[in-house]
Structure 1
Amino acid sequence: MVRMSAEERRESVIRAATAEFARGGYFGTSTEAIAKRVGVSQPYLFRLFPSKKALFLEVVQRCMDDLVRVFEEAGEGLEGEEAVHAIGDAYTRVISERPEQLLMQMQMYVAVASAEQAGDRELGEAVRAGWMRLWDTVHGPLGAEVGGTTTFMAYGMLINCLVAMGFPADHRVWEGLSPQALAEGSERTP
């Protein structure tokens, strides 16, 4: 049996936590479930991450880092409509091939709303910072025009919601979200 290094074990905990938080959310996921999924004890988990919140924040950071990397790679050297299509297509692949990415995003937003109602702003600050990194990553390639970036991000959030609700690909609700409709919408936005 090959022993994992501390870094490999940490990575396995982050992957397990991503899957568990994506499924159950921040408040609905126990550290016991995460530890069990990875095959470690809770005390070991807390040696790697001092609290459930610290682990969730690490997962949030990783989720946003992954999306920023996807957007950067897709939009590299492109501008305008070409960038819209390339980044949009890359995002579509991410959420279809790695559904936990979409679910984790949705859980992040819910966790922020719940935590801030309870007076905890730390989660919100982390998620908002990640969101702004996404915004900034697409803003330049899309033409550095606020309306176009807003439209692109708004369509992305609509897509997140429709996918999370389980609308099939052939449902009429998707008709206005074709690449052509996305490009036309960004051109019409002031």
Structure 2
Amino acid sequence: MAKDATTSVNRRSDIISAAIEVFAETGYYRATTALVAERAKISQPYIFRFFPTKEALLVTALEVSWARIIESFRQVVESASPEKLEKDLIIAYEKILEDHRNEILLQMQAQTIQEDSIRETMRNGFREVRQIVLEAFRKAEIGNPEQSTMLFLARGMLCNIAEAIGMPELKET
């Protein structure tokens, strides 16, 4: 890859990382591309070289956050024994929550945003995670895989809430 192309990819990644932080901390509606640019240590117009709108930037940030969860779950599904599958998925998600807290907070905020592209991105992410977990639970012959999947996803959402409001006791089992 040429140096200019590498720099461009790195800058795009820096912008997405900065956007995740700013959107998670400030909220989508209060966040500005100027704040994102400041966090990324670039000029505001440079953002628009990669993202035509703030909404497009948010969609990409959400896609990155969902991709991290999806990839992590796929790795678990490929390597976990049926007996440890659910526990290993929980551990993988807790690791994401610990290492990429802002991405999870971003997703939580995005659940309330009504723009079609954002809602579709959220639906796609949830749909794919649900499908991965459901298929894995079926393959592992976990009893009532549909209900087990729903409870697994509900527990993940409760973990998100516990993290967001600082109530770790909600995560205790």
Q: 2:74 aligns with which of 62, 66, 72?
A: 72
**Deviating 4+ runs (over 3 angstroms):** 77-81
Q: How far apart, in 2, do the equivalents of 1:163 and 1:10 lie?
A: 28
Q: How far apart, in 1, do the equivalents of 2:91 and 2:54 lie?
A: 34
Partner of 1:156: 156
Contact 2:73/2:132, CA 8 A, preserved across alignment: yes
Q: 1:129 aligns with which of 114, 124, 127?
A: 124
- Which 5+ residue runs of structure 2 have no aligned equivalent? 140-144
Is 1:62 aligned with 2:57? no
The 3 A distance-change label for structure 1 pair 9 and 41 is same
Note the C-alpha offset of 1:63: 0.6
Partner of 1:12: 14
Partner of 1:24: 26
**Per-residue CA shift, 1:46-96, capped at 9, x if unaligned?**
111000000000001101001101111122143644110001011111112
Higher RCO, Cα 8 Å, sep 6+: 1
Partner of 1:142: 137
Q: How far apart, in 2, do the equivalents of 1:84 and 1:49 lie?
A: 37
- Among all aligned residue pairs of Structure 1 and Structure 2, give the percentage whose two residues are the same amino acid: 28
**Per-residue CA shift, 1:97-155, capped at 9, x if unaligned?**
222122122122132xxx2xxxx322111110111011112111122621111111011
Q: TM-score scaled by structure 1? A: 0.80
Contact 1:139/1:149, CA 8 A, preserved across alignment: yes
**Per-residue CA shift, 1:22-58, capped at 9, x if unaligned?**
1112112111000111111111111110000000000
- Which 5+ residue runs of structure 1 have no aligned equivalent? 178-190
Partner of 2:142: none
Partner of 1:165: 165
Contact 2:16/2:61, CA 8 A, preserved across alignment: yes
Q: How far apart, in 2, do the equivalents of 1:95 and 1:122 lie?
A: 24
Q: CA RMSD in A?
A: 1.9
The 3 A distance-change label for structure 1 pair 78 and 31 is same
The 3 A distance-change label for structure 1 pair 152 and 137 is same
**Partner SS for 1:28:** coil
